[in-house]
Amino acid sequence: MFNVKREKCYHCNKTVYAMEKLSCENKVFHKRCLRCKQCNKLLSTGNYKYIEGKFYCGPHFKQIFLSIGHYSAFSDEKSKQKKVEKKVEEKKEEVKQEEVKQEEEKQEEVKQEEEKQEEEKQEEEKQEEEKQEEEQEEVQQEEN
């Protein structure tokens, strides 16, 4: 008489009657009990994600398995992307260092140029002084 197998909802553990029954992943649910473990959003048999006995909506499935790196397809994709990012970062660093080096070389050139100009200027001043001295001497000689 009571031989009918009473199916219990995987989510709330209450009896599920045929009318409200929903089954997926070999589990039985009330239609209203197939929910995302994370956000409790109602899922349908067409849009749920199932892993390790838990059901998720698409976004949370992705979020959770990206964060724990459990879902290899996602984590592979992520580490690949990270590698690329790292390479780009390294390349940027290289370019930056090259720029710094060039900038330093440029500054060194400018400095040398300035020093040279300074020397020339001093040389000129010296010549100017000598000239003035000569002139003074001439004047003195004339006075004599």
Q: Which residues bind Zn ion (CB under 5 A)?
A: 9, 11-12, 30, 33, 36, 38-39, 41, 57, 60
Q: Which residue, 14 or 116, has its beta carbon nearer to Zn ion?
A: 14
DSSP β-bridge partners for residue 7: 16
Q: How far is the CB of 59 from Zn ion (least distance, A)?
A: 6
Q: Which residue, 12 or 110, has its beta carbon nearer to Zn ion?
A: 12
Q: How far is the CB of 19 from Zn ion (least distance, A)?
A: 13
- Which amino acid, one-letter code, is at 132? Q
Whether residue 58 contacts residue 47, with contact meaning beta carbons closer than 8 Å, is answered with: yes
Q: Which residue, 54 or 121, has its beta carbon nearer to Zn ion?
A: 54
- Which amino acid, one-letter code, is at 75? S
Rounded CA separation 130/136 (Å): 10
Q: How far is the CB of 57 from Zn ion (least distance, A)?
A: 3
Q: Is 47 helix (H, G, I), strand (E, B) or coil?
A: coil
In sequence order, the 6+-apart residues with CB closer than 8 A to the CB of 68 are none
Q: How far is the CB of 86 from Zn ion (least distance, A)?
A: 31
Q: Which residue, 6 or 143, has its beta carbon nearer to Zn ion?
A: 6
